[in-house]
A and B are shown apart, each in its own frame.
Chain A
Amino acid sequence: MQSEKQSNSLTRQILQSVSDASLVPFLAILTAVVVGGVIIKLVGGDPILAYRGLIQGSFGSTKALSETAVWATPYIFAGLAVALAFKGGLFNIGAEGQLAVGAVASSLVGYALPEWLGYDLPIVIHLPLAIIFGVLMGGIWASIVGALKAYTGGHEVINTIMMNYIALNTTSFLLNGVMKDRSPTNVIARTPLIADSARIPPIFDGLRVHWGFVLALLVAFLIWWLLNKTTLGFQIRTVGLNPDAAKYAGINVKRIIILTMALSGMLAGMAGTIEVTGLNYRHELGFSIGYGYDAIAIALLGKSHPLGVVLAAFLFAAMRNGATRMQFLTQMPVDLISMIQAFILLFVAADAIVRYIYRIKAKGERVVLTRGWGG
């Protein structure tokens, strides 16, 4: 009870709200790590050693750090995609499909454009083109769902899932057909390598981390700025929080819904594009399995705040990346990591559990189920 007594100073209030926002995710991670440790112990492993392996594998060397950043790059873009949609009151489950169409589009531009033109392009033209095409495809793909929502009321959750099926099966069809790498040794569904002029250069020689990582951080900042400092962001947030009030305020709600979906899809498309142009230099069926779904977890863990998304993306990247080292040291299967991630998500989503364990009182407004007298 006494803890609710607070000073009136504004800075205190702001600090308070920051710590309020990050407290639950932080405790959720902590709890998941403890639960994971107990499970390791139960199956006869050494939790300390396992976690040490995890940390070594993700942060223990320049190479490990570089690989963590490589993992984090698409996670940041895809996490931002889901987070932005959340801010606009939309649940974009379709990042996976938007990412795939983005990857297909940019790899096509990457390998086919020089052939088609008959001459090589300079990197300053070819690379931006490859990226832009991927981003646009992701945006167009998602805005179809936005338009369905705005004009027919069709729910975006159902429609993004449907669009995922279409995207993934179309991709498979293309990668096994017209876009297949025809080199004699190839048997798998993948495109040819993209031209050198469509590749994002690495930041350091000998390490895989590329400038796409820096771009991801920049874009995260940009999205924060867009959401919080621009009139467009104001519109997106207003529609997300109260579409009736948005309409009253003169906002074109339908337009904003489509635009929000488009922007979200562009970010997801970027996640696919960045893997093609920065890392794999081609699109291969199945490279991204699960990025689009991890993105939902990342957005939730990051409370849809761009900085939160970046941090959550790093955490997920570190866990994925360090898992191999952990397995090597302790013979604990890599799947354990997925389990811990699932626990984190569970504790964030059902935050009542965390609040109960740590005896944190629920802050914020009560849920008003129906609106009654306007007093």
Chain B
Amino acid sequence: MAKKPVSSEVKTPIVLEAKEITKQFPGVLANDSVDFDLRKGEIHALLGENGAGKSTLMNLIYGLHHPDKGEIIVNGKTVAIHSPNDSIAAGIGMVHQHFMLIPVFTVAENVMLGDEITKRGSLDRATVAARINEISKQYGLDVDPNAIVGDLPVGLQQRVEIVKTLYRNAEIVILDEPTAVLTPQEAEDLFRIMRDLTGRGVSIIFITHKLKEVLAVADRITVMRAGRVVNTVVPAETNEAQLANMMVGRQVILTVEKKDHAASGDILKVDGLSVRDQRGLETVHNVSFTVRGGEVLGIAGVQGNGQTELSEALTGLREPHGGNVFIDGQDLTSKPPRIITAAGLAHIPEDRQRHGLVMSYTVADNMALCDYYRPPFSNRGVIQQKALDENARKLISAFDVRTPSPFVNAGKLSGGNQQKVIVARELSRSNVKLVIANQPTRGLDVGSIEYIHSEIIKMRDRGVAVLLISAELDEIMALSDRIAVMYRGQIVAIVETKKTTREQLGLWMAGAHAETA
């Protein structure tokens, strides 16, 4: 991680101030008299547990929700923000936790959306493209105005979002968990861009759960908990442990405690598996490995090297076109998810909103999403609502899901708590022999990560086989007994965690396998 520039001692003027902001949602006081300020040219990080109210505060500033109380002051003047149009006019831009782009449109079309320039009644794409190129050059944000957004990798899509805010002359840019889905390289690029922007007088609010990032790039750090601001500190005077402590209100163990554990026989056996993606390109080539009961096999690799297709093929979401998959000796190649689940799979999917949840179902219904058809949740085809609710109450308290009640729609939970609903559902199933966890802690706060990690280790200690796919090398190293490195659709190395180093793994992930493995 790059060193952050020495922050200047002179205090720049305050460009944005939120005063005593209060916001009540049904059942949750999401913001409780929050004070927050942002200085010109600074990166102000906002930290806090899942559901602490960070996105809510930003949505209030951006005009997507309206505060019950409090005022927002931009450049010394109180502004009334009724909708994003008002905040855009006040020079505020926001890149959301979930993208707001139209995938079939080009970059230029997306950027001008809502602010279209026309020439004799038709869209003036050329002028927009020129503006985009200008912005790209000025801030080092390389994007092709004519590319279709849906074809771009996430890192670039995010850049489009940033360009979109700059195109509207934003001087205050809000980034809500921008690094959650970026590769380490993409994250580095983003930090460079962020510094470029602040160097030109743009001020940035940066939300993240990654303490290392915060310490590396922020000028100031504000920590929120349960809708209130706990404290504002500067990186030089704090450290990871202290920040974690402030966020969760208790001591957090940042390292995973893991005892040696004897692995038993093979549970998952993958033999010569090849998989194509939706464009028909083979993205997994002839992959073979095994995971034994009582061990965690981590799959390390830069995102987009076939991990998604591999896990989809293993869980029945995608049909492989070659090779075999066995779970506990049973051939489950190309079998549908229901049968694989019945054979003992628990699957934490990569994309929680697409596969893991039905956003407009209640938490209770989501917690029975895969088991609704079995007793006690159903009896001769009739859903037993009582059993569903009871199950939800049990899981909500066991897994500490922050929700006002089991009957709230999953879409109303904060991102991290949505993930906990899935983890709770999957790990609590009774016959689990194999856990496939794809990015299980993406977007989670340190406390929740600690919890989910300990649950995964608990599964392993109970003799369950765990396949962990993660873009976080730290997570892979902390949890895995063995690590497989995936590069361009192949497993280029499998090693015992104890016998390797971060650097070695990094080399393999970058494709330096031919010499070493």
Binding site for B on A (CB under 8 A): 1-2, 4-6, 8, 10, 13, 229-234, 238, 241-242, 244-245, 247-252, 365-366, 368-375
- A365 and B359 in contact (CB under 8 A), knowing A371-B351, A372-B181, A374-B352? yes
Contact partner, B443, options A368, A369, A375, Cβ 8 Å? A375
B138 lies within 8 A of chain A by Cβ: no
How many whole Å from A90's CB to the nearest CB in chain B? Answer: 17
Contact across chains for B383 and A238 when beta carbons are under 8 A apart: no
Contact partner, B99, options A238, A247, A373, Cβ 8 Å? A373
CB-defined A-B contacts under 8 Å, sample of 21: A1-B66, A5-B24, A229-B382, A229-B383, A234-B372, A238-B361, A247-B355, A248-B317, A250-B337, A252-B338, A365-B359, A365-B360, A369-B102, A370-B150, A370-B157, A371-B98, A372-B97, A372-B101, A373-B98, A374-B415, A374-B419
Contact partner, B101, options A241, A250, A365, A369, Cβ 8 Å? A369
**Which B residues are in CB contact (< 8 Å) with A1?**
66-68
Contact across chains for B442 and A374 when beta carbons are under 8 A apart: yes
Stretch at the interface among B32-40, B243-251, B404-412: B404-412
A1 vs B24: C-alpha distance in the bound complex, in angstroms? 10
- A374 and B443 in contact (CB under 8 A), knowing A231-B381, A245-B356, A250-B341? yes
- A5 and B68 in contact (CB under 8 A), knowing A372-B99, A373-B181? yes
Binding site for A on B (CB under 8 A): 24, 26-27, 64, 66-68, 96-103, 149-150, 154, 157-158, 176-178, 180-181, 315, 317, 336-339, 341, 347, 349-361, 365, 369-370, 372-373, 378, 381-383, 385, 404-405, 407, 409, 411-412, 415-416, 419, 439, 442-443
Contact across chains for A374 and B372 when beta carbons are under 8 A apart: no
**Which A residues are in CB contact (< 8 Å) with B24?**
4-6
Contact partner, B176, options A13, A250, A375, Cβ 8 Å? A375
- A4 and B68 in contact (CB under 8 A), knowing A373-B180, A374-B181, A374-B415? yes
Contact across chains for B359 and A248 when beta carbons are under 8 A apart: no
- A10 and B355 in contact (CB under 8 A), knowing A4-B68, A231-B372, A249-B337? no
Tell me the nearest residue of chain A to B100, going by C-beta. A369
Tell me the nearest residue of chain A to B150, going by C-beta. A370
Contact across chains for B98 and A368 when beta carbons are under 8 A apart: yes
Shortest beta-carbon contacts, A-B, top 5: A372-B99, A250-B338, A375-B443, A375-B415, A373-B181
Contact across chains for B359 and A231 when beta carbons are under 8 A apart: no
How many whole Å from B58's CB to the nearest CB in chain A? Answer: 12
- A8 and B176 in contact (CB under 8 A), knowing A365-B411, A371-B98? no
Contact across chains for B157 and A372 when beta carbons are under 8 A apart: yes
Contact partner, B383, options A234, A366, A373, Cβ 8 Å? A234
> Which of A365, A370, A375 lies at the interface centre, i.e. has the most chain B CB atoms within 10 A of its CB?
A375
**A10-B405, A250-B339 known; 15 other A-B pairs, CB under 8 Å?**
A1-B68, A5-B24, A229-B383, A231-B378, A241-B361, A245-B356, A365-B411, A369-B100, A370-B100, A370-B149, A370-B150, A372-B97, A373-B180, A375-B97, A375-B416
How many whole Å from A254's CB to the nearest CB in chain B? Answer: 11
Contact across chains for A13 and B383 when beta carbons are under 8 A apart: no
A20 vs B415: C-alpha distance in the bound complex, in angstroms? 25
Contact partner, B103, options A13, A249, A252, A370, Cβ 8 Å? A370
A242 vs B411: C-alpha distance in the bound complex, in angstroms? 13
> Which of A10, A231, A374 lies at the interface centre, i.e. has the most chain B CB atoms within 10 A of its CB?
A374
**Which B residues are in CB contact (< 8 Å) with A244?**
354-355
A248 vs B446: C-alpha distance in the bound complex, in angstroms? 28
A106 vs B21: C-alpha distance in the bound complex, in angstroms? 66
A368 vs B361: C-alpha distance in the bound complex, in angstroms? 16
A365 vs B352: C-alpha distance in the bound complex, in angstroms? 17
Contact across chains for B355 and A248 when beta carbons are under 8 A apart: yes
**Which B residues are in CB contact (< 8 Å) with A252?**
336, 338
Tell me the nearest residue of chain B to A228, going by C-beta. B383
Contact across chains for A250 and B99 when beta carbons are under 8 A apart: no
Contact across chains for B353 and A374 when beta carbons are under 8 A apart: yes
A122 vs B419: C-alpha distance in the bound complex, in angstroms? 61
Tell me the nearest residue of chain B to A234, going by C-beta. B372
- A373 and B378 in contact (CB under 8 A), knowing A8-B27, A241-B361, A365-B360? no
> Which of A10, A230, A234, A372 lies at the interface centre, i.e. has the most chain B CB atoms within 10 A of its CB?
A372
**Which A residues are in CB contact (< 8 Å) with B338?**
250-252
Contact across chains for A242 and B359 when beta carbons are under 8 A apart: yes
- A372 and B98 in contact (CB under 8 A), knowing A4-B66, A13-B26, A250-B338? yes
Tell me the nearest residue of chain A to B369, going by C-beta. A249
How many whole Å from A237's CB to the nearest CB in chain B? Answer: 8
How many whole Å from A371's CB to the nearest CB in chain B? Answer: 6
A245 vs B27: C-alpha distance in the bound complex, in angstroms? 27
Contact partner, B382, options A5, A6, A230, A374, Cβ 8 Å? A230
How many whole Å from A224's CB to the nearest CB in chain B? Answer: 13
Contact across chains for B359 and A370 when beta carbons are under 8 A apart: no
How many whole Å from B217's CB to the nearest CB in chain A? Answer: 18
- A250 and B347 in contact (CB under 8 A), knowing A230-B381, A245-B354? no
**Which B residues are in CB contact (< 8 Å) with A247?**
317, 337, 355
**Which B residues are in CB contact (< 8 Å) with A2?**
68
Contact across chains for A242 and B102 when beta carbons are under 8 A apart: no
Contact across chains for B68 and A375 when beta carbons are under 8 A apart: no
**Which B residues are in CB contact (< 8 Å) with A241?**
358-361
A85 vs B296: C-alpha distance in the bound complex, in angstroms? 44
**Which A residues are in CB contact (< 8 Å) with B361?**
238, 241
Tell me the nearest residue of chain B to A5, going by C-beta. B24
Contact across chains for B99 and A370 when beta carbons are under 8 A apart: yes
How many whole Å from B315's CB to the nearest CB in chain A? Answer: 8
**Which B residues are in CB contact (< 8 Å) with A4?**
24, 66, 68
**Which A residues are in CB contact (< 8 Å) with B154?**
372-373
**Which B residues are in CB contact (< 8 Å) with A249?**
337, 369-370, 372
How many whole Å from B4's CB to the nearest CB in chain A? Answer: 23
**Which B residues are in CB contact (< 8 Å) with A368?**
98-100, 353
Contact across chains for A242 and B68 when beta carbons are under 8 A apart: no
**Which A residues are in CB contact (< 8 Å) with B101?**
369-370, 372
Contact partner, A231, options B157, B337, B354, B383, Cβ 8 Å? B383
**Which A residues are in CB contact (< 8 Å) with B98?**
368, 371-375
How many whole Å from B319's CB to the nearest CB in chain A? Answer: 12
**Which B residues are in CB contact (< 8 Å) with A375?**
97-98, 176-177, 180, 415-416, 442-443
A6 vs B28: C-alpha distance in the bound complex, in angstroms? 10
**Which A residues are in CB contact (< 8 Å) with B158?**
372
**Which A residues are in CB contact (< 8 Å) with B365?**
234
Contact across chains for B351 and A374 when beta carbons are under 8 A apart: yes
A10 vs B405: C-alpha distance in the bound complex, in angstroms? 9
A372 vs B24: C-alpha distance in the bound complex, in angstroms? 27
A8 vs B443: C-alpha distance in the bound complex, in angstroms? 28
Tell me the nearest residue of chain A to B411, going by C-beta. A365
Tell me the nearest residue of chain B to A233, going by C-beta. B383
**Which B residues are in CB contact (< 8 Å) with A229?**
382-383, 385
A329 vs B170: C-alpha distance in the bound complex, in angstroms? 63
A375 vs B96: C-alpha distance in the bound complex, in angstroms? 10
A348 vs B360: C-alpha distance in the bound complex, in angstroms? 21
Contact partner, B370, options A10, A230, A250, A370, Cβ 8 Å? A250
How many whole Å from B61's CB to the nearest CB in chain A? Answer: 15
How many whole Å from A7's CB to the nearest CB in chain B? Answer: 8
Tell me the nearest residue of chain A to B25, going by C-beta. A4
A106 vs B357: C-alpha distance in the bound complex, in angstroms? 43
How many whole Å from B274's CB to the nearest CB in chain A? Answer: 21
A250 vs B346: C-alpha distance in the bound complex, in angstroms? 12
Tell me the nearest residue of chain B to A238, going by C-beta. B358
Contact across chains for A373 and B359 when beta carbons are under 8 A apart: no
**Which B residues are in CB contact (< 8 Å) with A6?**
24, 26
Tell me the nearest residue of chain B to A365, going by C-beta. B411
A233 vs B357: C-alpha distance in the bound complex, in angstroms? 17
